[in-house]
Chains A and B, each alone.
Chain A
Amino acid sequence: MFDLIQTWIRKLDRAPRDVVGIDFGSSNIKCARLRRQNQTLILESAAFLPPFQMPADPDPAYIPPPLSLPRSLLAPYCALIVPSELAVLKILTFPGEFSTETEGQIVSHMGLDKPDEYRINYKVIQYGTPRSESRVLAVAYPDRFAAVVPRLFPSGPPAPFSLEIAGLASLSALMSLPDGGFGAGVVGSLEIETHSSVFAVFHRGLLVLIRKFNFGIDSLVSAIRQGLDVSPQIAYNLLSTGSIDVSQWTAGMVQPFVKQLLVSRDFVERRENATLGRLFVCGAGARIALIRKEIQQAFDMELREWNPLDGLTLSPHALSEEVQGQEGRLAAAVGAARAVLEGSS
């Protein structure tokens, strides 16, 4: 009886109109509060907060202390974003039309040792015909880690509404840009986070490849920190500004990653019979000259940084001083909030 009433009440609930995207990154919690007014999306506020330390091996019953947000970020709902590091991202292809039988094969195709310990979701990105294949974007995330994040908001605003992977949320933001420019060509997106990176390729606006690499800026930072015996913050600053030559400590660390990127690119170009035309980059690693230089040389093209706030109306004082110039780091927060406000179409 109560379940029936609860279901009925949920149906009455209006779609969210005010959402704060909260990206639990390793270096910071990145927040962007978006409000929908008619057809316009307004950025009400954006801020970086101190990072949340996820336990290394959280107990299923672990309840973290509630996270308090600044008043300007208190929207009724929140879209939560977890780092891609622990996620499994795959594009699965199935021959023929997508059916219930196909749906049943998704979990087994994910290649997970213990699927019961993961939260799995998927989206059909291309419905096949009897003579073509269906493509499914599938994601899996360890349940014990995913369960911790909504518990940071046990009561009051914001109420958890969605939970997604940072790499996919950033791609949603990129796809939402008014001049995404995907067009008919092949476009790449590379997000370099602290512990991992996500490389995605679109052809004619359709996602044709997504790969997650266990390469992030933390490996470079720790190498410099050990080599120079400095704090992580100083090591990161040295890395991002390029004020001194740190190549003796980072030599050979970026090339394997770039090689894997090239392999992925070549695979797509052969399969799609087209050439990668543009490469958009974002994330903490996208601003590090050392990494940019290696990738640019390998891909032989200019890397394009993009602003996830393009196409949004900004409220006065929406961006604090620390956020200004760092808008690219809000990609996942903006992408997740936009996805909730626009519906998962």
Chain B
Amino acid sequence: MNLHLNLILESEKRSGASIRVWFLVRLVLILVPAVLLLYSAYLAYQMITLRKETDHFRELIAARQEQMTLSAQIAKQKKTYEDMLSQIHDWAASRLPVADRLDAFRLTVPLDIQLTSLRLTRTIRYTNSMPVAIYALQIRGKTRGEESELTVDQFLTRLRQTPGLASDLESAQVPPGAFLQDREPGAHPLDRVFLLECLFKPLGRTTP
């Protein structure tokens, strides 16, 4: 119990808080709309600028339509030529100089051997989407004598060692069962036939 009789008017009272809530509320009430207004104005300005730029670029595009069409045609032509060039490069890289190889091959054949067939095959494989050529040489021949097997081995050895040929060869061999007696009618008992398979190293580009 006390005899407190307050005579102060509400208008004379103030908040004792160091930061007055009413001040903060007023600040927010002013600041938030002001920020929104500024942001809206900024967005409007951006929109107008973008619209102007868009119109400007549309005009530029319309004015240069002919050049752009020509440019597209030229680019297409260029692409065609580049594809062609690439194919020529692929062909060049995968080409085996057959004449030179056959010339070298000629010197390796012993005098006791008669070649009956010579078959060169070319197979294309793709590595990293690039064409690679694999050449295979199939040689059939005949020989006579007690030492005909030795003669064929000598032929094989020469193939593997002849400069200009050996470096391109990946393998050269007489497959098992490919050295046989000649069964042709009228053949001499010492006549032998053989098959010799040469595989060349792959030719071509492996990277674009």
Contacts and interface: CB of A to CB of B under 8 A. Distances in A.
Interface of B (DSSP majority class): loop
Contacts of B118: none
Interface string B1-30: 111111111001111111001100100000
Interface residues of A, number: 47
A24 interface: no
Contact of B7 (A141, A344, A345): A141
B22 A9 contact: yes
A5 interface: yes
B2 A121 contact: no
Contacts of B17: 13, 76
A202 to B, nearest CB: 10
Contacts, number: 92
A344 B4 contact: yes
Given A5-B25, A6-B22, A121-B7, A160 B13 contact: yes
Given A9-B21, A9-B22, A13-B21, A121 B5 contact: yes
Interface of A: 5-6, 9, 12-13, 16, 75-77, 80, 119, 121-123, 137, 139, 141, 146-147, 150, 153, 155, 157-165, 168-169, 171-172, 175-176, 205, 207, 335-336, 338-340, 342, 344-345
A188 to B, nearest CB: 15
A112 to B, nearest CB: 14
A139 B2 contact: no
B25 A9 contact: yes
23 contacts: A9-B15, A13-B15, A13-B17, A75-B16, A119-B7, A121-B6, A122-B5, A147-B12, A157-B18, A159-B16, A160-B12, A161-B8, A162-B8, A164-B5, A164-B7, A168-B3, A168-B4, A169-B4, A171-B3, A172-B2, A176-B2, A344-B4, A345-B2
B127 to A, nearest CB: 80
Contacts of A207: 3
A207 B6 CA distance: 18
A159 B22 contact: no
Contact of B4 (A76, A77, A158, A172): A172
B14 A160 contact: yes
A155 B18 CA distance: 11
Interface centre among B4, B5, B7, B8, by most chain A C-beta atoms within 10 angstroms, is B5
B7 A159 contact: no
A29 B1 CA distance: 26
Contacts of B5: 121-123, 137, 139, 164-165, 168
Contact of A342 (B2, B14, B16): B2
A161 B13 contact: yes
Contacts of A168: 3-5
Contacts of A344: 2, 4, 6
B66 to A, nearest CB: 65
Contacts of A165: 5, 7
A159 B3 contact: no
B13 A139 contact: no
A342 B22 CA distance: 25
Interface in B161-199: none
Contacts of A122: 5
Given A76-B17, A161-B16, A335 B8 contact: no
Contacts of A155: 14
B187 to A, nearest CB: 123
Contacts of A169: 4
A152 B49 CA distance: 57
Nearest to A123: B5
A171 B1 CA distance: 11
Contact of B14 (A12, A137, A159): A159
Given A76-B17, A338-B2, A163 B22 contact: no
